[in-house]
Amino acid sequence: MFGIRILIYLLGIALVIWILLRLARGQRQRVEKKPTRQVNDMVRCEHCGTFVPRHEAISEDEHYYCCNQHRDEDR
C-alpha cells in the first residue's frame, strides 16, 4: 500500500503545481493585454460608415465592419 500512497501524494503535488502555473499564466496575460488596448482607436465600417472601436470591429482583408451581418453583406 506504500506505493499507492506515494502516487496519490505525487498527484496532489502535481495538481497544486498545475493550478499555480495556470493562475500565474492568467495573471501575466491580463497584465500584457492592458497596454495594447487603445480606447480611442476607431475604425469605420465599410458597409454603413459607423465608427466602432478597433477591438470590437470585425476585420477582413484590411476592411473593418461593425458587425458580422455587414461583413457578410459586403462580400
* Contact pick of 43, 57, 64, 66 for Zn ion (by CB under 5 A): 66
Quick note: the x/- pattern for Zn ion over 13-52, rule CB under 5 A, is --------------------------------x-xx-x--
**Are the C-beta atoms of 64 and 50 separated by less than 8 Å?**
no
For Zn ion, the closer CB: 41 or 74: 74
Q: What's the min distance (Å) between Cβ of 74 and Zn ion?
A: 8
**Are the C-beta atoms of 20 and 47 separated by less than 8 Å?**
no
* Contact pick of 44, 54, 63, 70 for Zn ion (by CB under 5 A): 70
Does residue 63 bind Zn ion (CB under 5 A)?
no
How far is Cα 22 from Cα 28, in angstroms, rounded to an integer? 10
**Are the C-beta atoms of 47 and 60 separated by less than 8 Å?**
no
How far is Cα 74 from Cα 26, in angstroms, rounded to an integer? 37
